[in-house]
Amino acid sequence: MNDLACPGCSRPPLPEFAWCPWCGRRLAAACTRCYARLQPDWGWCPRCGQRVAGATGPAMRQSSLISEAERHNQQGIALYDQERFASAIEQFRQAIALEPSSPIYHGNAAVAYQEAGDLERAQFEYEKALELDPEDYSALLNLGYLHLARGNLEQAAGCWRQVMDKDSDGPDGEEARRALLTHARRYHPGTTK
């Protein structure tokens, strides 16, 4: 078997593949932010600059393809799906403690805080996610919903307009457009655009 062959099925996937298209075996780690393929010894993603989760210096151990922080994040998602928001928040907090530069973990924590009714902490986490990744349209969209929950339609509309401007053809842009139209009509009857 040559170096380019899959260790699972011995077929030769292309070098840039992170997964074998024949047997589904994971061939390489992927960046949690941009999903670029990573080499085992990289500490930083060459595409987006994200620190490789679990990296402890210039080398990343092959056995830790999924980091401890990501395990906490996945547990948090599972608990959130079970509507166990306090437990989900704790898992997201642990993920953030291990990987504070991940906008994904802050965004997930924000959603859980919002569902648990802690709007102040949710806003802090949405804003942190946006500070770390200004292109996180999902966080900006959800921040709009948070402002709406607080009764501030103008701030909500401002968030949704930003999403529409930045992601006009994407799913977040479409949702922002629908939210803006729905809530503008409710607060300002007669609005059609």
Residues 98 and 125 in one domain: yes
Does 183 lie in the same domain as 124? no
Q: Is residue 168 located within the same domain as residue 180?
A: yes
- Phi/psi at 187 (nearest 5 deg)? -90, -20
Tokens of 134: 């200004």
In angstroms, the CA 60 to CA 88 distance is 27
**Residue 29 DSSP SS3:** strand
Instruction: Report pLDDT for 154.
Output: 92
Q: Do 110 and 152 share a domain, yes or no?
A: no
- Point out the domain boundary residue: 12, 39, 65: 65
**116 shares a domain with 141:** no
The per-residue pLDDT for 18 is 64
| Mean pLDDT of all residues belonging to the chain | 82
pLDDT of residue 4: 62
**Which range has the worst mean pLDDT, 31-40, 90-99, 175-184?**
31-40
Of the candidates 30, 31, 69, which has an alpha carbon nearest to the alpha carbon of residue 49? Answer: 31
pLDDT tens, position by position, 131-154? 999 999 999 999 999 999 999 999
What separation in angstroms does the CA of 54 have from each of 18, 84, 109, 112, 148? 18, 27, 20, 24, 37
Residue 33, pLDDT above cutoff 70: no
Its domain, for residue 29, covers 1-65
Instruction: Say yes or no: 127 and 140 in one domain.
Output: no
Say yes or no to pLDDT of 114 above 90: yes
Last residue of a domain, one of 45, 65, 85: 65
pLDDT value, residue 26: 67
Looking at the fold, whether 129 and 84 belong to one and the same domain comes out as yes
pLDDT score for 2? 40
Pick from 107, 106, 109, 70: nearest CA to 86: 109
pLDDT score at 77: 94
Torsion sign across C-alpha atoms 33, 78, 122, 145:
positive
pLDDT at 164: 94
Q: Kindly state whether residues 117 and 139 are assigned to the same domain.
A: no
Residue 19: per-residue pLDDT: 67
Domain co-membership, 72 together with 21: no
Q: Are residues 145 and 110 in the same domain?
A: no
pTM above 0.75, yes or no: no
Span 53-59, average pLDDT:
50
> What is the number of structural domains in the chain?
3
